[in-house]
Amino acid sequence: MLAPFQLGSWQVQPSLNTISQNGKAIRVTPKVMGVLVCLAEHPGEAVSKDELLKIVWPSTFVTDDVLKGAISELRRVLEDDAHEPHVIETIPKRGYRLVAALTPLDEKPKTPPLSKVPVRAADAREPDPRSALGSSTLGRRTVASLVETVTEYRRAKRTWMTIAALLALGGAVLLLFQFNVLPVGASRESLPAPSATSSIHSLAVLPLQNLSGDPAQEYISDGMTDALITDLAQIGSVKVISRTSTIRFKKTDKSLPEIARELGVDGIIEGTVQRSGDRVLISAQLIYGPSDKHLWANSYERDTRDLLALEREVTQDIARQIRVQLNTNQPPARTQLLPMDPKALEAYLQGNYHLDRQGKGFGDEEKRKAAQFFAQAIATDPKFVPAYNSLALAHENLWLGSSEDVVIGMGAAKKAVEVDPNHPVAHVTLGAFKWQPHLDWRGAEDEFRHAISLDPKVAAGHSALGMLLVVSGRVEEGLRECKIAQRLDPFDDDSALCLYYGRDYDGSIAMFRNLLQADPDVGLWHCDLFPDYAMKGMHKEFVEELGHCFSLFGHPQAAANIQRVFTRSGYKEAVRQWAKEVERLQAAHQVFLPGYLAQAYTLLGDKDRAFYWLGQAYDHREMDSFDGGVFYVGGEPIYDPLRSDPRFKELLHRVGLPD
């Protein structure tokens, strides 16, 4: 059914993959539209699951779960209920049927004949697939195909290619190109040749959608997103936006042109990950963002033991298409592929999942879990550089750190550089440990600069260097590096901190608000934002952000106590309560936050207590990196009232900074 049609109160345009009501159009994926079109070709009739899978996903491995996901998405868009259906009805053990009135836009309504409506037992209803997905929904498109309708699907030509070289995960190797056959088990749709107007020089990978129906499998889609970003960043002539910037679009109704404009990119990659039993399916499509033009689409399936091979194939195929858009035939440098044990990859992906959960309602325990998975990955594959790097990150920025964490983290960072001296992110991580807690300012700066020399597009290198320069007194030079990081990664949170230490509070607040609008549950951004409000004298906002900081790191009672005191007694007493809550948590051996205590007592005008806690921060700096401690003392605006005190100059000297 190629022509637009009316479905109940909704207008459906298959050629545009849109479903509209009251002038508002919702775009669905071609596959989801394919399911709807197939049902619309048989109004009132039960269409079996096998038939739907055969028509919409020909020659491609999928399970019933992916079909259930498509039906769930249609029900969401059409505001239908699986238990009280008015659009799509589930026929137990048979399939689905369309029960809403269906009308070609140039004809009168036709209601499905009642004679074809099967009788359903009251207890025979199939559970709504959304109950398994929780709050997760499908993306804007299923990216396995660009086929607009089922009829087109049947006519589409297919091209097969074999990938002769695979891409290593996490930047361990460079991309390999120039192959013309797709691996068995992957499908490609015929597409028109790219035009000169759709050249891609910058790229964003939107978070891959988990279609498995199991939120516990989210680590796979998140991990594959990170892997794609890391690997695609190896294309020398293409700027690739980091996950920090793209995560804000995980659940958004914004159009692709809007997203492309906000991120400042030409190309956008959307994708889905579907795991069922021992099989996994990845679909991806490349879109020219400014005009929402489809350039390429593909789907791949593998055994779960081949996740690494699957990610390599996806990345290489995307990279090949980008090179087509760039109209260049010059192959990149080739690097020997490192073998990868699939168990190591599985552990690494699970580790990253837990690593990302700290500060989203959870505390240090999530980083501890992540460290266990990274150690498992390293034990399985001692040459797996990303696992060493992530293990180092799991042992820093803790609320309750220790000297043991420093030793493990520093050792992992050094090992990552030893295994792969040309891994830029590993040098950034090693530089961070040289800075915090070792206060090796020159060594840290050298590592950051070396990372940039290896890859000038690594935003983390520019951001870390910029931050170090700003807080060590080289403000203008540091802000230049932070601006470079922001251009490379428009929503980089460290750039917002650079603005704060550079005394641009309004700019910092605006950037943090932009980040939090996309993902309000990132506790670290709230923790970094509340000092901006303190310096602006915005007391209500200061208390709110401070409360979010405590709550999202697992201490909601402390947040409630501070808010209650603020409501009853005002700002100054709320700051005093902040200090009391931190001291209470420290006494219970839950956290060590001397930097927060020094800041609180400075705001209260108690210089003696402030210097006491700054001294504690210096003496026990291996235990403290979360609240800044003495590592940012040179640039911290809250400490400005202390700078004329001789004790502050002495502290700067001990820290290794100029007066």
Q: What is the pLDDT of residues 22-58, one digit of tens each?
A: 877 787 777 888 899 999 988 888 898 888 888 887 7
Average pLDDT, the chain: 77
3-state secondary structure of 202: strand
- pTM (whole model) above 0.75: no
In terms of C-beta density within 10 A (0-12 exposed, 13-18 middle, 19 or more buried), how is residue 368 classed? middle
Mean pLDDT of all residues in 526-540? 95
| Cα(434)–Cα(392) distance, integer angstroms | 12
- Among 140-149, 246-255, 423-432, 512-521, which is the least confidently predicted range? 140-149
Separation of alpha carbons 552 and 555, rounded Å: 7
Q: Could you tell me the domains of the chain?
A: 5-132 (1.10.10.10), 157-326 (3.40.50.10610)
Residue 561's pLDDT band (boundaries 50, 70, 90)? Answer: very high
Eight-class DSSP state of 165 = S
Residue 309: pLDDT over 80: no
Environment class of residue 573 by beta-carbon count within 10 Å: exposed (0-12), middle (13-18) or buried (19+)?
middle
> Which of 635, 377, 381 has its CA nearest to residue 497?
635
pLDDT band at 625 (very low <50, low <70, confident <90, very high): low
Exposed, middle or buried, 546 (CB in 10 Å: 0-12/13-18/19+)?
buried
SS3 for 332-401, per residue? CCCCCCCCCCHHHHHHHHHHHHHHCCECCCECHHHHHHHHHHHHHHHHHCCCCHHHHHHHHHHCCCCCCC
Please, which pLDDT band fits residue 581 given cuts at 50, 70 and 90?
very high
φ, ψ at 422 (rounded to 5°): -100, 15
Contact 158, 74 (CB under 8 A): no
Average pLDDT over residues 396-409: 83
Which conformational region is residue 504 in: left (phi greater than 0), alpha (psi within -120 to 50 degrees), or beta? Answer: beta
Q: Where are the alpha helices (DSSP H) in 436-504?
A: 441-454, 459-471, 475-488, 493-501
